[in-house]
Structure 1
Amino acid sequence: MSDAIAGLGGGGLATPQTSNIATAIKYSMLALVCFFGGPIVNKLGVKWALVIGAMSFPIQGSSYYCNSKFGNQWYLILGAFFYGIGSGCWYVAESGAIMTLAPSQSRGKYLAFWIVSRNLGQLVGGAINLSKNHKKGVTGGVDPETYIAFLIIECMALPFAFLIAPLDKVVRSDGTRILQAEGISTMGEIKRISRTITSKLIMLSAIWAFWSFFYSGTWSTYLGTYFAVRSRALSSLISPFFCIVGCFGLGYILDMKSVSQRRRAQIGLFTVAILNVGVYIWSIIIQVRFNHSAPGKIDWEDSIYAETFLPYFFVQTTGPMSQSYMYWLLSSFATDAQANVRNGAAFRCLEAIGQAVAYGMNTQTKSSPLIGFCVTFGLLAAAIGPMIVLVNSTPDRIPADVIAEEQDMGREKLADCEGVKAPAPVDAKV
């Protein structure tokens, strides 16, 4: 539902600025929580971190409703503060869990299913949104009743969070169990934050993490600035469709058994980068045209609707594909479940900082998101070099799987040794 609200353009409000301020605050708090997310989630456990996150979800829907219905801005901004804390716990827990739960040879499929599930939430939200905002000629924000439906669905997350099983009780579909590290103290966990943040894995992927969701702030502003209410409603419905194809297609590439893990990482990076470059060039060309000749509020019946909406449609696929690929790559370096949580927390911290900066930058956008498009394109270009270095060092097998196999072999050998009886003593003859 959070993605569905973002898909409304400016949160569905009449002007995107207030939504951008609230969203910048949300991602600032989310980044802070993610920075300490490894120790928090490893101490609380994945289940309880997800419970805390689920408890915070209804704050967002209710705050947008109050702003739209009563013009109440303080709750939207204060709610973003608390929602950012809760969703930070959720962010770290869900990324660590999905990277850990997936069997080695099916990580691409599992990660695609995760990303697509998030987009299916936007699909449901889009259907609700379009049903409430389909009348032609309506200006301003979306119907306030739209947020009530979102709020009801957000409230449904909490009971499901209680059903999550602890990772140490999980048996994967291929029969393997999850390798868990020995428990360490809270101070020990905090000390590992600096090691994780300064590791080769995070340092080389830092710009990619910062860029990965940077586009959302600019594209949300683009929709809110140039598209009519019902066009924004339609966009929130149809945008997730192609994402399903794109993410599962990438998952198929990343799970190819006939190709080494390193080669799959290289093919995946090339695929994601090329698709994103095409989308950003297209979006910059469209925005330059708009700067020369403002189109007004574009309706879906207008002749320019398709060419101006399609870049947004495709970025809603290439963006999630970039996320899915990066989590697959991070899990390729994991040594245990706790390492996945720390790596995921570090990546999501940098990702949230990028989103906070993007939305903060767009609070100043009065007429043109062109600067945002150019900055996003520049960040992608800057991220490619370090990512090539990282991808070329991808191990051929996941270290956690290798360690787990060695431990299993060690236990089997010990069991065999204990099962062999010592030979009976032979009487010595003089």
Structure 2
Amino acid sequence: MSGTMHTQDRGPGQTGLAPTPGSASSRSPSPIAKAKPFFRSVPFQIVVACGVSFTAPGMWDALGGLGAGGAAEPYAVSAANALGAVNNRIGLPYGLALGAIGYPLYGAGLYTNNVSANTWFMLFGSALCGISAGFFWAAEAAIIIGYPSPGDRAFYLAVWQTAKAAGPIVGGAINLGLNANRKTTGSVSSSTYIVFIVIMCLGLPIALCLSPAHKVWRKDGTVISTPRAPTWGAEFKAVEKLFASRRILLLLPAFFISYFYNGFISTWLATYFTVRSRAFSSFFTNFAGIFSSFMIATLLDNQKIHIKRRGCIAFVSIIFVLVGTWIWATVLQKQIYDASEPPAYDWFQGGFGKSYALVFFWQFGGQAFQQFLYWLVGQYATDLSDLSRHTGILRGTEALGQTVAWAMQSEGNANHFVSIGLNFGITVLCVFPTWLVLSALEGSHEENIASAERNLGDAEEEEIGSKAATYALGGWRNGFNSWLLLGLDCPYFLRNTQIPDYFLSDVVVSEDAMRGTAYSSATSVKRSGVNTSQMTRNAMEAIVVGRAASRTADGRGIGPSCTQIRVD
């Protein structure tokens, strides 16, 4: 079937339709939709982000599980707050790549300090890692929350938490294998650091596989909204404005305390557990975070429960676990201080079970709390740039909490009751302001996010369809420059017309743009005496633009509409 009319179907002086770009005139009558590449899909982007998370911060966490780490945190505090804006300007793929560079240098610094007490390179590596981590933290969270559709975010957050935990699990297995026979307290072997550095170096090449947001496709047809501030100054002003907003100010205590427990865990393990017990902990404890992540994801993605109720149930459950662990820690710490000498818990020896279970549930509740906060800020950000600013503030405040926690534990004679009291107190303090934010959460937030993304795609499709229709029909005389293609207001126009099925799934056109002069156009057709059936086929074939409207998220477009038209 050709997009040009046969001679007998033309009125006096009429010419055929000019073929439009992407029209069927240059294609087979049965066009096959081009397969979308998997490497542009959301799951692939999540795999890339999780791969970097596994190799870079995952190995960093594994080192922290042995009592090393924490030195990079002070340099990451301001960086994470500001670099969400920087990532918006340079793009998330570059932000993720820059974020992966610093971690191997940090591991190398720990190695040189371990073998030769060379502190300058350790501090240099820590500083670079902290700045690099700012890029990584802001980019990573924006990718995990912003690339998936709103209804899948909690699930992909759980996948991300699993990848973060997989790094320490693998690292813990390495630690366990290298240090299983060491029953004393002290530092780990230098070969442990070498293995970690090699794995950390894989983060950069993996990060380079990430696709830009505007090239990523989702299974539901929605696009990723990626508006960008026009200048660097405007971007930083947007971050400043967001930071001063009521919602962010209310959430700051929760952001601050969300990772505060990590500093005390490291001290707890280094003080009271043997090397192989710590290696066991660095391997097994991370399963707690995996369990809690998928448990909380199942609840938060359950569309049958109202979004506010989902959030409230999750938050109350998490606070219950966290408050319980700090009460438990208070009791155990009192027993330890009352003992004649501090214990050295070896695996599966006396006292190990009750002390290690506390570490397990710290991780269980802490990871669930972090995932909940990422999900919560994701409900209030309707585009990727805004989300990057939200996550940058979240990660920066989280890093500030870690910095304070590590600083408190740096003193050899630090009173552990102070750390326990601060963790308990700030956890309770964050309940009321976080509850206020949850109370303002309505189902409309999820709907607005999805609607905004669908509307962006619809606007692009309608603009293409309108231009294609105008171009295709512009050469018709007798009023055909504005007739309605499908004759929604003109039954005569479709009388005896059979529309091929493949058109119904591959046509994009703006119904509103074509509606205006249907009646006058129909009159012109009737008076001309031409074959309307053939003309309709030709015109439709000419304005095929290759994008299936029936595959858009809300089903708008010609595909579903045509099947409902009844012509008398």
1:384: how far off? 0.5
2:210 alignment partner in structure 1: 164
Q: 1:191 to 1:289 in 2, by over 3 A?
A: same
User: Match of 1:332, SS?
Assistant: helix
1:307 alignment partner in structure 2: 354
Q: Deviations over 1:340-377 (max 9, x none)?
A: 00000011111111111111111124264221111111
Task: Pick one of 91, 103, 107 that aligns with 1:45.
Answer: 91
Give distance in 2, aligned partners of 1:155 and 1:182: 31
Q: Deviations over 1:228-249 (max 9, x none)?
A: 1111111101111122111101
Task: Pick one of 191, 215, 240 that aligns with 2:261.
Answer: 215
2:511 alignment partner in structure 1: 416
1:400: how far off? 2.5
Kindly provide the amino acid, as one letter, of the partner of residue 323 in structure 2: V
Task: Pick one of 232, 254, 259 that aligns with 2:305.
Answer: 259
Q: What are the equivalent positions in structure 2 for 1:273-284 lying under 5 Å apart?
A: 273-284=319-330
CA contact under 8 A between 1:207 and 1:379: conserved in structure 2?
yes
Q: What are the equivalent positions in structure 2 for 1:13-412 lying under 5 Å apart?
A: 19=69, 23-24=70-71, 26-293=72-339, 294-366=341-413, 368-396=415-443, 397-398=445-446, 399-408=448-457, 412=462
Which moves more between the two structures, 136-145 or 34-43?
136-145
Higher helix fraction (1 or 2): 1
TM-score (norm 2): 0.70
Give distance in 1, aligned partners of 2:442 and 2:195: 46
Q: Deviations over 1:133-183 (max 9, x none)?
A: 111433321111111111111001111000001011111233321112244
Give distance in 2, aligned partners of 1:138 and 1:127: 18
Aligned length: 415
Which moves more between the two structures, 361-370 or 326-335?
361-370
Kindly provide the amino acid, as one letter, of the partner of residue 397 in structure 2: L
1:14 alignment partner in structure 2: none
1:408: how far off? 4.7
Give distance in 2, aligned partners of 1:95 and 1:366: 36
Percent identity between the two aligned chains:
30
Q: Deviations over 1:208-240 (max 9, x none)?
A: 000000111111011111111111111101111
CA contact under 8 A between 1:139 and 1:228: conserved in structure 2?
yes
Give distance in 1, aligned partners of 2:163 and 2:143: 15
Give distance in 2, aligned partners of 1:180 and 1:157: 25
Give distance in 1, aligned partners of 2:432 and 2:522: 68
1:407: how far off? 4.2
Give distance in 1, aligned partners of 2:389 and 2:149: 19
1:279: how far off? 1.3
1:3 alignment partner in structure 2: 61
1:37: how far off? 1.7
Give distance in 2, aligned partners of 1:87 and 1:161: 13
Q: 1:236 to 1:182 in 2, by over 3 A?
A: closer
Give distance in 2, aligned partners of 1:332 and 1:202: 13
Q: Deviations over 1:254-299 (max 9, x none)?
A: 0111111111111111111111111111112111111111333221
1:418: how far off? 3.0
Q: 1:426 to 1:177 in 2, by over 3 A?
A: closer
CA contact under 8 A between 2:150 and 2:449: conserved in structure 1?
no
Give distance in 1, aligned partners of 2:429 and 2:224: 36
1:122: how far off? 0.5
Give distance in 1, aligned partners of 2:384 and 2:364: 28
Kindly provide the amino acid, as one letter, of the partner of residue 7 in structure 1: G
1:311: how far off? 0.6
Q: Deviations over 1:377-398 (max 9, x none)?
A: 1110110010010011113133
Q: 1:367 to 1:387 in 2, by over 3 A?
A: closer
Give distance in 2, aligned partners of 1:251 and 1:425: 56
User: Match of 1:285, SS?
Assistant: helix
1:15 alignment partner in structure 2: none
CA contact under 8 A between 2:408 and 2:414: conserved in structure 1?
no
Give distance in 2, aligned partners of 1:296 and 1:159: 44
Give distance in 1, aligned partners of 2:453 and 2:182: 60
CA contact under 8 A between 1:268 and 1:325: conserved in structure 2?
yes
CA contact under 8 A between 1:225 and 1:367: conserved in structure 2?
no
CA contact under 8 A between 2:256 and 2:397: conserved in structure 1?
yes
- Measured on the aligned residues, the alpha-carbon RMSD in Å equals 1.8
Which moves more between the two structures, 357-366 or 330-339?
357-366
1:32: how far off? 1.0
Give distance in 2, aligned partners of 1:115 and 1:171: 23
Give distance in 1, aligned partners of 2:347 and 2:522: 92
1:16 alignment partner in structure 2: none
Can you give the 5+ residue segments of structure 2 that lack an aligned partner in the other structure?
A: 1-58, 467-509, 525-568
CA contact under 8 A between 1:179 and 1:400: conserved in structure 2?
no
CA contact under 8 A between 1:332 and 1:395: conserved in structure 2?
no
Give distance in 2, aligned partners of 1:407 and 1:124: 42
Give distance in 2, aligned partners of 1:206 and 1:284: 25
Which moves more between the two structures, 112-121 or 392-401?
392-401
Kindly provide the amino acid, as one letter, of the partner of residue 395 in structure 1: E
Kindly provide the amino acid, as one letter, of the partner of residue 360 in structure 1: A
